[in-house]
Amino acid sequence: MERFKRVVNFYGEDGFARIRNTRVLVAGLGGVGSHCASALARSGIGSLVLVDFDSITESSLNRNAAVGEEGLNKPKAEALAGTLSSLCPDTECIPIKLFITEETLEAPDFMKDSDLVVDAIDSVNPKTQLLQFCVEREIAVFSSMGAAGRRDPSKIHTGDISTTTNCPLAKIVRKYLKRRGVTRGISCVWSTELGMRHLPPEDDEPRLDRRGRIRNTLPSLITMPGIFGYILAQMVLDHIAGEK
């Protein structure tokens, strides 16, 4: 395919063939997840399973990679799948509006035959439940820690979750996972920069889950979530193509 010629040049015919034949599940389609999914689709990934429970709000448009005002109030998964299907018709996009819990993870068709997982969820319980699910089943998983409220790309790091430092989200995720018997085996991107303080919830923010808890507001630009998303996409592509 001519549109993927530069990707073939980068990874070679065999590496690109593996990319074309891989299905990736991306959970969490905000700033980080939408950029990661967009980069994977642009790089020729064969299939994307796009999972998110929330809908597009006006205040989230500043950091979404591919959805504009036409997507307002639509489920994030459906809005992103529609855009990516138009921009990247060679990639199959499967939208799933789903709040991840231990019960939904156990559904027989949750993975949709996905080969690996990207975790861009910002809610701790679903995040740790998904990560535990992947580690216990030996599913390769690539996870984003906190990107919001930060601006300095020089403080971004990658590595196993056991090596994460100076990231409050990573600290609590490690704590929750340790209780579940998981201490390593998750590839992460994180920042050691001190994030900005959380603000009270905004009126247009959707409910966090079915129990009615509301998100605090995280000051955030498109830049750092975008960088995190592209780093995750690079990690995924290298893993699939067999690069170190």
What tens digit of pLDDT does each residue of 125-138 get? 999 999 999 999 99
pLDDT(206) > 60? no
pLDDT(104) > 50? yes
Pairing of strands 92-97, 116-119: unpaired
Tokens of 44: 């020729």
What phi, psi does 158 have (nearest 5°)? -130, 155
CATH of segment(s) 2-241? 3.40.50.720
What phi, psi does 24 have (nearest 5°)? -115, 130
CA angle 11, 16, 17 (to 5 degrees): 145
pLDDT(171) > 60? yes
What pLDDT sits at residue 91? 97
Q: Which pLDDT band, with edges at 50, 70 and 90, does 211 fall under? A: very low
Tokens of 152: 């300095």
Q: Which pLDDT band, with edges at 50, 70 and 90, does 150 fall under? A: very high
pLDDT: which is higher, 196 or 116: 116
Task: Give Cα 156 distance to the centre of its chain.
Answer: 16
Pairing of strands 156-160, 187-191: antiparallel
What pLDDT sits at residue 218? 77
User: Of 58-62, 67-71, 189-193, 210-214, which has the strongest mean pLDDT?
Assistant: 189-193
